[in-house]
Amino acid sequence: MSDQGDNYDVLDMSGDGMSTEKAKDSKRTLRRLLTALKPQRWQMMIAFVFAVGGVLLNLRAPLLFADAINEIFIGIMPAMMGIGPVHIDFVQLGTLAAILIGIYILSAVITYFQEFIMASVSQKLVLVLRENVGEKLARVPLRYYDNHKKGEILSRVTNDLERVNEVMNGAIMRIFTSFVTIIGALILMFRIHWILTLISIGTILVGLIITALVGMKSAGYFANRQKSLGIFNTKIEENFSGQVEIKTFTLEKRAKEETNAAAEQLYRDDKKAQFIMFAIMPIIRLFNQIGYVAIAGLGASFVINGRISIGQIMAFFQYIQMSQEPLTEASYVINSLQSALASVERVFEVMDEAEDIQDVEDAQKISNPKGDICFEHVQFGYGAELLMHDVSFQAKAGQKIAIVGPTGAGKTTLVNLLMRFYELNGGRIKIDGIDITRFEREYLRSLFGMVLQDAWLFEGTIAENIAYGCHQASDAEIVEAARIARADYFIRTLPKGYSTVMNDENASLSQGEKQLVCIARAILANPPMLLLDEATSSVDTRTEVHIQKAMDTLMKGRTSFIIAHRLSTIKNADTILVMNQGDIVEMGSHKELLAKNGMYYEIYRSQFAS
C-alpha cells in the first residue's frame, strides 16, 4: 500500500538480520532460549531425573557383565590348566542375566518417558515462539513489511523455527546425558585402574579440543546457510507471484539463472555446514581407536600379571565406549545447537523489532461519527528525508475527496496516514475534531471501509470473503451487498455459487471479478467513511459505469477518499487534491482546477485531448 516508490523492493542484505557472520551474541540468545523454556521447567526436571536414572542403569550393566565373565572364566580355568573339570555356577549366571535384562527393560521404559517429555517440551517451545512471532508481526508498523521481503519473513517464521524444533527436541537432554555418562564412566574406570583411565582421558581431551575448535568455526557456516536459505525462499516467492510479468517480458531465462544462483549458493553454504558437522565424528573416532590399541596392550599385561581380572578389562572397554560415544554425539549436538542458535537469533530479531506506538490509555470513541476530517500541517517521511512537508486540508462530513497526481506523488501515503499505518513526523490529523492518536488503532480503522487496487481474497467461500469485515451478516445481506456491487450475476454462474471456495484451482476469476467481491465486502461493512484506492482500475469501462453508480449510492452521506488515475471517475468530487512529490500543489473542484491551467489541467488534457 505504500506509495514511496520502488526503493523497498531492493533487499538490503546488510541490515535485515541475515548477516554472514556467526550469531551476534550466542550467550544472550541461549539465555533467552532458556528463559522461554522456564514455564516448562518442572517437565524438564522430571525429564532430567529420568535421564539420570537411565544413565545410572546403563553404568551398572558393565559391572554385571564383568561378574558374569569372571564367573565363566573361573569355572573353565581348572579345565584349561588341566587340574580339574569345568564347573560353572549357572544359577549365578542366570541371576546375573535376569538382572541385566531387567536393567535394559527399565532403562528403555525410562528413556521412552524422558524422550516423550522432551518432545512435548520442544513442541510447546516452538508453539510459544510461533505465537509470539505471530503476535509481534501484528504489532510491528507497516514500515517493517516495506523493508523486508516476504520470503525472508516466511523463512524466519517457518524454516528457522522448524530448525529450532528439530535440534531442541533432543539437544539439551543429549548434552546433559552425555555429561552425566562421561563423569559416571570415568569414576568407575578409576575404580578399575587409574593408569588405563588416564590414557582414556587423554583421548577424550583431544576430542574436546577438536569439538571446541569445530564448534567455533561452525557457527559462521550455519549463519551463512540460514542467510542463503532466506535469499532462496525470496527468489522462489518472487518467481511464483510474478509469473505473468516474467513471461510477459520473456525473463524466464534470467529468473531461472537468478534462482539457480541462489540455489547454488545455498548448496555451497549447506555443504560447508553439513561437512563441518559430520566430519568431526571420524576424526574423534580415529583418536579413540588409537586409545583402544594402547589400552588393549597395557590392559592385557595387567590381566596376565593378575592386577585386574579379565571381566574388569572387558567392563573397562565398555566404559571407554560409554564415555567416548557420548563425546562424539555431544560434539554433533553442540554443532547442531549452533545452527539452532543462529536460527533462533533470527527469530528473536523479529521479536525485538520496534512496535507501533502504544495506544493511549484513555482512548476516545465517537458516539455518532460524522466524518469531518482535517489535516493540519502534516509532515511525514519514510526515512530521514521528508516526503510531505506541509499538508493541510479539510474534508467535511459526506464529501467526496478525490486524490490525483503522478505515480509516487504520495496519494496512497496520505490514505495510509489517515489509517495510522505510519506515524507522523509533525502536524495532526483529526476526525470530528479529535486527534486520531487519541483513538485505538482498531477502532480508528473500523471507521473506514477500504477497497484497494490489488484485490485480496483469502482461501474460503465467496460468501465468507464478502463477510470478511462483517462476520455476523446474514446470507440475504451478503447477497444484497453483492447485488449492489454488480457481483451477484457472475457469482451465481460459479459451480457452487456463493459457496464456491476461493483457491488456486479457481484462479480463473478475473481481476475485475475479484475486485467486485472486494467492493461487495466494503458495501456490507457499511462504514461511516470510505477509502477507495483505484477501486475500479481492474474492471472494464462498461462495468466501471455500473460500479461507479453503486459507489455513488454507497458514498451518499459518507466522507469518501478516492484515489484515481482516470479523471472521468472523479469529475463530480466535492474537492480534488492534486499531489506532487508528497505535497498538495492544487486543490478545488473539477471546474476550478481546469480554470487554473495548472497540473490538473495538464493531466486532464493528457487523458482527453483528441
- Give the tens place of pLDDT for each residue, 34-52: 888 888 889 888 988 998 9
Q: How many CA atoms lie within 13 A of 265 on its CB side?
A: 17
Q: Provide the pLDDT for residue 507.
A: 53
What global pTM score does this model have?
Answer: 0.62
**What is d(CA 373, CA 393) in angstroms, rounded to the nearest whole number?**
8
Per-residue pLDDT, 84 = 66
Q: Which pLDDT value is given to residue 8?
A: 32
pLDDT of residue 215: 67
Place of cell 469518501: 560
Residue showing cell 537469533:
345
Digit-coded pLDDT (tens) for 377-429: 999 988 778 889 999 999 998 899 999 988 888 888 898 899 898 889 999 99
How high is the pLDDT of residue 395?
A: 92
Beta bridge partners of 393: 375
Going by C-beta distance under 8 Å and a sequence separation of 6 or more, which residues neighbour residue 168?
33, 121, 122, 125, 126, 340
* Grid coordinates belonging to 504: 488456486
Q: Which of 376, 387, 462, 493 is nearest to 427 (CA)?
A: 376
Average pLDDT across each block of 10 residues of the chain; the chain has 610 residues. List them in order. Answer: 38 34 68 85 89 90 83 71 70 86 91 88 87 86 79 81 76 81 89 86 77 71 82 83 76 86 89 77 75 84 83 86 74 73 85 81 86 93 87 91 88 89 92 92 87 80 88 89 86 88 66 82 86 71 70 79 81 90 91 90 77
In this structure, which amino acid lies at residue 542? R
Which whole-number Å values give the CA distances from 471 to 98, 449, 468, 475, in the listed order? 67, 15, 6, 11
pLDDT of residue 426: 93
pLDDT at 23: 56
Can you give the pLDDT at residue 431? 94
Which three cell numbers, joined as nine digits, stand for 116?
516423550
Query: Residue 34 to residues 39, 148, 198, 491: CA-CA distances in angstroms?
Result: 10, 28, 35, 53
pLDDT value of residue 4: 42
Assigned C-alpha cell, 120: 512435548
**If DSSP codes are grouped into helix, strand and coil, which group holds residue 427?**
strand
Q: What is the distance between the alpha carbons of residues 76 and 89, in angstroms, rounded to a whole number?
A: 11
Contact between 201 and 186 (Cβ < 8 Å): yes
- Which pLDDT does position 546 carry in this prediction? 67
pLDDT given at position 587: 93
Quote the pLDDT of residue 94.
Answer: 85
